Structure 1
Amino acid sequence: MSEVWHSICALNDIQAGTMLPIEIGEMHIAVYNVDGEYFATDNVCTHGFALLTDGFLDGDSVECALHGGCFNIRTGKALCEPVDVDLRTFPTRLVDGRVEVCVEGS
């Protein structure tokens, strides 16, 4: 598998302290802006099928709206019950005023 970078939005599409749901193929990804740093994780909670972008972003943590589980968006680490499985994270980069996310491709 090789890395494939996807241009997903302009920098100003995600204001500081907010998150944006995106889809790349069948993958649901959440992109976060934390004080001008951009992060990306799976957008589906590892505990129950809920979109994390329907939850709450607090600094570098996202809380699932369904059962209140929290994850660190920098590392994907599960932070509190009921979640105990970490999130997958994806590299991001800024190119020509746009946010790009890297996912494995064929």
Structure 2
Amino acid sequence: MTAATATYGEPVHVCGVADLPEVGAAQAEIEGRLVAIVRTEDGAVHAIDDTCTHANVSLSEGEVEGCQVECWLHGSTFDVRTGEPSGLPATVPVAVHQVTVDDDGQVFVALAAG
């Protein structure tokens, strides 16, 4: 499913931007789903499923560089904008969720369907 055709649930308040690392990720549980809330070097906030599709470990514990988050276990990298793996050994993308930051710096996430 491409981002253009993706459907999303209702936005849920997750945190404030100030609660996130300047560059890095934090884990949130939204409706029973683990999500990595990622803040990139340009200050943008993204949300992806928090589980590496190769090794089933938390991506929010990995390093963020540019728009990539690296799995700490085997070094797979994922583009936080698309969910696509950009470095082996992972070959399956992670889900990308819709993020909104309001005027007060509060982060809301709408989960991708599925």
Question: Match for residue 47 of structure 1?
Answer: 54
Note the C-alpha offset of 1:15.
3.2
1:40-73: CA deviations, max 9, x gaps? 0000000011000111111110110111101001
For the residues of structure 1 that align with 2:39 and 2:49, how far apart are their CA atoms? 15
Note the C-alpha offset of 1:5.
0.4
Aligned length: 105
Q: Is 2:30 the partner of 1:32?
A: no
Conserved? CA contact 1:41–1:88, under 8 Å: yes
Structure 2: stretches of 5+ with no match in the other structure: 1-6
Question: Match for residue 20 of structure 2?
Answer: 14
Question: Match for residue 101 of structure 1?
Answer: 109
- Cα gap change, 1:26 to 1:99, in 2 (>3 Å): same
Amino acid aligned to 1:5:
P
1:60-98: CA deviations, max 9, x gaps? 101101111010011101111110001100010012320
Conserved? CA contact 2:53–2:92, under 8 Å: yes
1:9-45: CA deviations, max 9, x gaps? 0110113212110001220000111122110000000
List, as ranges, runs of 4+ consecutive aligned residues in structure 1 with deviation greater than 6 Å: none
For the residues of structure 1 that align with 2:32 and 2:9, how far apart are their CA atoms? 17
Structure 1 or 2: more strand by fraction: 1
For the residues of structure 1 that align with 2:18 and 2:97, how far apart are their CA atoms? 20
Note the C-alpha offset of 1:2.
6.3
Question: Match for residue 4 of structure 2?
Answer: none
Give the superposed CA RMSD: 1.6
Q: Is 2:93 the partner of 1:86?
A: yes
Structure 1: stretches of 5+ with no match in the other structure: none
Q: TM-score, normalised by structure 1?
A: 0.91
Q: Is 2:73 the partner of 1:66?
A: yes
